[in-house]
DNA sequence: CAAGAATTTGAGAGCGCTCTCAATATCTAT
DNA sequence: ATAGATATTGAGAGCGCTCTCAAATTCTTG
């Protein structure tokens, strides 16, 4: 099918290229009759402006990039990223942006692609998930002055002029720990994740809760895990030696691994050891026992990231936006509060 | 940071715009000394050609679209799609293509965005996952003559001129069913999925295996489920009434749900009922008991889809490519073959 | 109904690249 | 050294759009 141009649409409608352009871009000062006529032609022909020409002339592409640097294989097993991607995709569709996806499995891959992303003008803005330690990527974006928002808070001090959308990890783990304390548990372990900002915040909230309730912090009750089920299993096996009465895991996947480890040892959840997770992923509700967990609004995070980015692009230069979304504790059987 | 143009690079290197263009595009017939000089300037300046201008002049964007039509919320919980996305992203990075993501949660969303995708020239080719019944999308792509490959075989007759990459679902379920039969099980149930091509093929392979081994096909031992764990649980509960000795599930998630249902009924896997899944997702190996399942090369599917698409774009017009990848049976404890 | 103001439209340049074609530089063989 | 072949380079048009500026049209108002 032959693709039409503005000129040709104009010809059919009996107006100039300029007028058609005005109609498409919603400019004022067009006689209603003319606008109608042009719109009819556009609809009938299914005309869509050539996006390359548009970008070139207007120097904006209406493409957003979604960047996930140094993403390990495993991270994607977690339903977190898929959900974020889905949210971002949907929000982009909604606002007539096209989301381009940049997943980097190695630094080498990141290196190779990132220059093209920032310097080719192909992208109007970026959503960056930067949960791990800083890559050089953010500084590169800043150098080229590309608008961007991070999902997850940046750790470093330069955070003030970086826009981000994050969930209140600290409050979440505070809730989780407080819940366990209120249920009477004293020896509360933590299956923590390291090297990521969210993990640091979750750890902080956990400690704060213990401290606020006058409990000592026993470092030997804290085991480090990655975000996987298998990691949780291993970490919990180690932790079992220390005989905790309850355990707070930094993710539901970890919690599920922990439950498996506890059961393998012949113990019952929550009777012998209570478990609380973080995420409220779909499997949490149908787990055995159903998992008490901290629900974070993952989808909303993605949506807000895009909307914030649009706002930044529109009003640039703009002050940085900082959004922290609330979380909630979902109480199910695994913590022993309900049967 | 000010973005440079070809002209300016040429100025610095003391050559014309045309020559720089030639260097960038790897044309022959450039004096080595000149090429060297130009390449140095490009490297030092970090110059990247403006992609809009490039697209406009060459009428190709080096962008591939990844389209997932009528995707329900739940489908994304499955690690299948994330893995495909990851593979496609990686393959695109490898070949200097940019992957644009189009997930459609509703037909309305699909309708709104699809015209832009096909008619704006923003995209050189599409990878379409069309596991469900045909949307109007494929015919639209064909109308606009955009190269595309499907992941998963098209069901309808027009398949011959559609390129696709698929796994051998039929052989997979044939393997699974044969395995169970060989182990001596006779009343073998199936937790099947409906309304998707892969499901149809898996069902066919299952039936073929029974027939080939002289077993009757008992329709009452076939329950329909969606692809979720919860769906598997419900379907298995129903199936339990019919007292199967073994059950083949169309996905690992379904199998996991089935195991939970069996256990809730006070029965043991595999002692009372053997279970085989499909996918070999990461959780399959660490499930309790470890899941016998059909491993399909999901990642490879995505990679091949991109490579095939590149091949098609390059040699267009080209005959349709049909690729069917082999699967393998991974035997673990849940089928009762090993402890 | 004319003259000025306001609205609506069109012409033209230009965004940064590719690609053709012609011009120039270099090489080969006599 | 020189004609002819060949390799290398540059000039210029054009891709389809946006956006400015001026022209044409319509609307006011005395």
Residue B178 C-alpha, separation from nearest chain A C-alpha, in angstroms: 30
pLDDT at A36: 95
Bridge partner list, A64: A99, A125
Nucleotides in C strand less than 7 A from protein CB: 7-12, 14-20
Any CB–CB contact under 8 A between A119 and chain B?
A: yes
Asked if residue B30 keeps its beta carbon closer than 7 A to nucleic acid strand D, the reply is yes
C-alpha A128/C-alpha A85 separation (Å) is: 11
| Residue whose structure tokens are 């799609």 | B81
Band of the pLDDT at B195, cuts 50, 70, 90? Answer: confident
C-alpha B138/C-alpha A309 separation (Å) is: 32
C-alpha A270/C-alpha B156 separation (Å) is: 52
Q: Do domains B6-49 and B63-168+299-326 have the same CATH topology?
A: no
pLDDT at A76: 63
Picking from A120, A140, A260, A281 by the largest number of B CB atoms within 10 A of its own CB, the best residue to mutate is A120
Determine which helix (DSSP H) or strand (DSSP E) holds A24, and give its type and residue range.
helix A17-24
State pLDDT tens for residues A42-65.
999 999 999 999 999 999 999 999
Q: What is the CA radius of gyration of chain B?
A: 25
C-alpha B229/C-alpha B284 separation (Å) is: 12
State yes or no: pLDDT of B335 exceeds 80: yes
CATH code of domain A63-168+299-327: 3.40.50.2300
A210 CA from C2 C1′ (Å): 88
Give domain limits for chain B. 6-49, 63-168+299-326, 169-296+329-335
A41 CA from C9 C1′ (Å): 18
Q: Which of B48, B76, B116 sits opposite A86 (nearest CB)?
A: B76
A contacts of B85 (beta carbons < 8 Å):
82, 85, 101, 103
Residues A173, A295: contact at Cβ < 8 Å?
no
Band of the pLDDT at B80, cuts 50, 70, 90? Answer: confident
Mean pLDDT over A247-253 rounds to 96
Picking from A63, A81, A122 by the largest number of B CB atoms within 10 A of its own CB, the best residue to mutate is A122
pLDDT at A131: 63
State yes or no: pLDDT of A180 exceeds 60: yes
State yes or no: pLDDT of B157 exceeds 70: no
Judged by C1' against the alpha carbon of B32, the nearest nucleotide is D8
With 0-12 / 13-18 / 19 or more C-beta atoms within 10 angstroms meaning exposed / middle / buried, residue A314 is: exposed
Residues A213, A188: contact at Cβ < 8 Å?
no
List all residues 6 or more positions away from B129 whose beta carbon is below 8 Å from its beta carbon: B66, B67, B68, B69, B81, B84, B150, B151, B152
C-alpha A96/C-alpha B86 separation (Å) is: 24
State yes or no: pLDDT of B4 exceeds 90: yes
Angstrom distances, CA of residue A210 to CA of A218, A226, A235, A254: 10, 23, 21, 21
Residue B53 C-alpha, separation from nearest chain A C-alpha, in angstroms: 6
List all residues 6 or more positions away from A128 whose beta carbon is below 8 Å from its beta carbon: A67, A68, A69, A137, A138, A141, A148, A149, A150, A151
Asked if residue B45 keeps its beta carbon closer than 7 A to nucleic acid strand C, the reply is no
C-alpha B44/C-alpha B41 separation (Å) is: 5
Tokens of A46: 């299914």
Any CB–CB contact under 8 A between A5 and chain B?
A: no
A contacts of B49 (beta carbons < 8 Å):
120
Q: What spatial distance separates the first Cα and last Cα of chain A, rounded to whole Å?
A: 63
B52–A48 CB contact, under 8 Å: no
Bridge partner list, A99: A64
Q: Quick count: other Cβ atoms within 10 Å of Cβ A128?
A: 24
B145 CA from C7 C1′ (Å): 43
Structurally, what CATH architecture does the domain formed by B63-168+299-326 represent? 3-Layer(aba) Sandwich (3.40)
Band of the pLDDT at B287, cuts 50, 70, 90? Answer: confident
Task: Find, among A179, A332, A334, the residue nearest to A254 by Cα.
Answer: A334
C-alpha A277/C-alpha B104 separation (Å) is: 31
C-alpha B200/C-alpha B191 separation (Å) is: 12
Any CB–CB contact under 8 A between B46 and chain A?
A: yes
Give contacts of A 225-244 with B, CB under 8 A.
228-230, 233
Determine which helix (DSSP H) or strand (DSSP E) holds A276, and give its type and residue range.
strand A274-279
Nucleotides in D strand less than 7 A from protein CB: 7-12, 14-20
State yes or no: pLDDT of B75 exceeds 70: no
Any CB–CB contact under 8 A between A290 and chain B?
A: no
CATH code of domain A169-296+329-335: 3.40.50.2300
State yes or no: pLDDT of B133 exceeds 60: no
List all residues 6 or more positions away from B21 whose beta carbon is below 8 Å from its beta carbon: B6
B contacts of A90 (beta carbons < 8 Å):
103, 105, 109
Judged by C1' against the alpha carbon of A58, the nearest nucleotide is D18
State pLDDT tens for residues A114-163.
999 999 999 999 999 876 655 678 888 989 999 999 998 887 656 678 99
DSSP class of B74: G
Any CB–CB contact under 8 A between B290 and chain A?
A: no
Class of domain A6-49 as given by CATH: mainly alpha
Size of interface A-B (CB pairs under 8 A): 164
Asked if residue B187 keeps its beta carbon closer than 7 A to nucleic acid strand D, the reply is no
Bridge partner list, B196: B132
B-chain residue closest to A143, CA distance: B1
B contacts of A82 (beta carbons < 8 Å):
76-77, 81-82, 85
C-alpha A82/C-alpha B82 separation (Å) is: 6
State yes or no: pLDDT of A92 exceeds 60: yes
Any CB–CB contact under 8 A between B66 and chain A?
A: yes
C-alpha A139/C-alpha A151 separation (Å) is: 16
Residues A92, A101: contact at Cβ < 8 Å?
no
Write down the mean pLDDT value for chain A.
92
Any CB–CB contact under 8 A between A51 and chain B?
A: yes
Phi, psi torsion values for A249, nearest 5 degrees: -105, 145
Asked if residue A2 keeps its beta carbon closer than 7 A to nucleic acid strand C, the reply is no
- Can you list the alpha helix ranges (DSSP code H) found in chain B? 6-13, 17-24, 32-45, 51-58, 80-94, 107-119, 137-143, 169-182, 197-212, 229-240, 252-264, 282-286, 298-315
Residue B298 C-alpha, separation from nearest chain A C-alpha, in angstroms: 13
DSSP three-state, residue B189? strand
């Amino acid at each position: 099918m032959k693709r039409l141009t503005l000129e040709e649409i104009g010809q059919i409608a009996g107006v100039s290229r300029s007028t058609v352009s005005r109609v498409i871009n919603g400019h004022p000062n067009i006689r209603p009759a003319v606008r109608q006529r042009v719109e009819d032609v556009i609809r009938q022909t299914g005309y869509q402006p050539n996006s390359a020409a548009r970008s070139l002339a207007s120097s904006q592409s209406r493409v957003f990039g979604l960047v996930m640097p140094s993403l390990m294989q495993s991270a994607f097993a977690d339903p977190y990223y898929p959900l974020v991607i889905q949210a971002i995709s949907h929000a982009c569709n909604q606002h007539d942006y096209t989301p381009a996806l940049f997943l980097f499995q190695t630094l080498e891959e990141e290196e190779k692609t990132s220059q093209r992303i920032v310097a080719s003008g192909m992208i109007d803005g970026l959503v960056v998930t930067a949960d791990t330690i800083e890559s050089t990527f953010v500084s590169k974006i800043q150098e080229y002055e590309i608008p961007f928002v991070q999902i997850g808070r940046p750790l470093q001090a330069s955070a003030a002029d970086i826009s981000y959308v994050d969930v209140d990890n600290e409050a979440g783990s505070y809730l989780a720990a407080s819940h366990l304390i209120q249920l009477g548990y004293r020896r509360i372990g933590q299956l923590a994740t390291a090297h990521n900002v969210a993990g640091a915040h979750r750890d902080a909230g956990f400690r704060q809760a213990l401290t606020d309730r006058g409990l000592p912090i026993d470092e030997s009750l804290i085991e480090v895990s990655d975000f996987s089920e298998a990691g949780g299993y291993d970490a919990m096996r180690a932790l079992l030696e220390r005989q905790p009465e309850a355990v707070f895991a930094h993710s539901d996947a970890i919690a599920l691994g922990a439950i498996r480890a506890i059961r393998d040892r012949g113990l019952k959840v929550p009777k012998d050891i209570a478990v609380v997770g973080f995420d409220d992923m779909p499997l949490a509700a149908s787990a055995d026992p159903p998992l008490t967990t901290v629900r974070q609004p993952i989808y909303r995070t993605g949506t807000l990231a895009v909307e914030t980015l649009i706002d930044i692009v529109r009003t640039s230069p703009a002050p940085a936006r900082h959004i922290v979304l609330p979380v909630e504790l979902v109480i199910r059987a695994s913590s022993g509060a309900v049967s």
